[in-house]
Amino acid sequence: MNKQMQSQLTDTLMILLRDGAAYAFLIHLVLNNRMSLGEFVFVFAAVGALAGWVSGILTSADDLSKACVEMNDIKAMLDYPNRMNTGPGIPLPTANELPPSIELKGVGYTYPKAENAALIDINVSISHGERIAIVGANGAGKTTLVKLLCGLYTPTQGEVLFNGNHVQAYNRDEFYTQFSIVFQDLHLISSTIAENISYQVNYDREKFAHSIGVTGFDTKIKSLPEKENTLLVRAVHRQATELSGGEKQKLAMARALYKDAPVIILDEPTAALDPLAENEIYQQYAKLTEGKTSVYISHRLASTRFCDRILLIEDNIIAEQGSHDELMALDGTYARMFEVQASYYREETEGVTI
């Protein structure tokens, strides 16, 4: 991106210098009676035509430069070392081994070219079917932790075990089928709503209806003329419908429910919703994820009270862990954060008569 901006800036400066010098010279000749007004108009038009021709060359050169930059980015991505197992792997957990357990042993992670580690010596075991909440301040490493959990990141130290086996022992693509994940960044495909949720042309309609009903996305779909066959991504389809931020998050949650994987990870999927709506959806998830291993990230601590255990990340480590009541009794960082949020919502509702 920086190279593209530099190329565009260089192009703009060259045009300013070229046109500015030419027009300044012509004006100088007219003011000093060295060129008639008619000659000025003629030469001015000729300079404009030449400028257009030169601009066309510069535009083509700029397009070529952008293409080179993009190809370099693609080459860098293709050359990036793949640390995941894309070959044969051990069998995935069978029905009697599900939901799976996940364990992080001495896990640390440092982003490329970063001076400081994002996470340090993380040791945590998530039991079969346990519901875990991960909380902490912005930038504490919550999203990094869940990406390590599901194999999207490879630890720079330590290891991640899935049902007692190292994640590298599984085939990467097979391993990813074990997770239904909703991250903060959502990418839509240029297809119908139904295919965005199911990733299938011939989808299970009963399963689809259940997924959109639980997340409340069915209300939006029913309001559309084409219902679930409504196209998305207007950049591709002129007649496509644009979704709001909250609607996109509901679609993402419906997508995770439709996949019905044994592990569900929600990375602040309800950030665009109000606290009451978020709490209602989390309560629904609490019922629907019974019998699954689930991990939740939320800024609103009250929404994670239904979890079996809460992990507080602070200073790149797990600083506190336990149930909501245990952490409140500890009277540490979690308790202070909870009280601050509770007082904020109390202030918001003061003076409101019901």
| Local confidence band at 353 (pLDDT 50, 70, 90 cut-offs) | very low
Helix (H) or strand (E) holding 49: helix 37-79
Helices and strands of the chain, counted as H and E runs:
11, 10
pLDDT digits (tens, 9 = 90+) for 16-30: 776 777 778 777 777
**What backbone torsions phi and psi does residue 92 show, to the nearest 5 degrees?**
-70, 160
Under DSSP, the state recorded for 10 is H
3-state secondary structure of 185: coil
Q: What is the mean pLDDT of residues 306-314?
A: 89
pLDDT at residue 341, rounded to an integer:
76
Q: Which residues pair with 320 in a beta bridge?
A: 312
Q: In whole angstroms, how far apart are CA 321 and each of 178, 268, 313?
A: 25, 19, 9
- 212: number of Cβ within 10 Å: 25
Cα 83–Cα 108–Cα 85 angle in degrees, nearest 5 = 15
The first and second tokens of residue 316, run together, are 């790149």
Reported as a single tens digit per residue, the pLDDT across 284-294 is 666 667 778 88
Q: What pLDDT is recorded for position 176?
A: 92
Q: Quick one: pLDDT band at residue 4, thresholds 50, 70, 90?
A: low
Strand order in the sheet with 102-109: 119-126, 102-109, 157-162, 165-166
Percent of the chain at pLDDT > 90 equals: 23
Residues 108-149 have pLDDT tens digits of 999 988 888 999 999 999 988 888 999 888 888 888 999 998
- Residue 230's nearest CA partner among 246, 241, 242 is 241
> What residues does 293 pair with on adjacent strands?
263
Average pLDDT over residues 335-346: 76
Contacts of 334 (CB under 8 A, 6+ apart): 135, 301, 310, 312, 320, 327, 328
Q: Give the 3-state secondary structure of residue 229.
A: helix
pTM score: 0.70
Task: Give the distance from CA 151 to its chain's centroid.
Answer: 16
- Find the range with the poorest average confidence among 16-20, 216-220, 306-310: 16-20
Distance CA(116)–CA(338), nearest Å, equals 28
What pLDDT shows up at residue 44? 73
pLDDT class of 354 with cuts at 50, 70, 90:
very low
pLDDT band (50, 70, 90) for residue 344: low
The predicted-structure confidence for 137-187, as pLDDT tens digits, reads as follows 888 888 899 999 888 889 999 999 999 899 999 999 999 999 988 887 788
Across residues 184-209, what is the average pLDDT? 89
In whole angstroms, give the CA distance from residue 65 to residue 4. Answer: 8
Given the DSSP bridges, would you call strands 263-267 and 165-166 parallel, antiparallel or unpaired? unpaired
Per-residue pLDDT at 352 exceeds 50: no
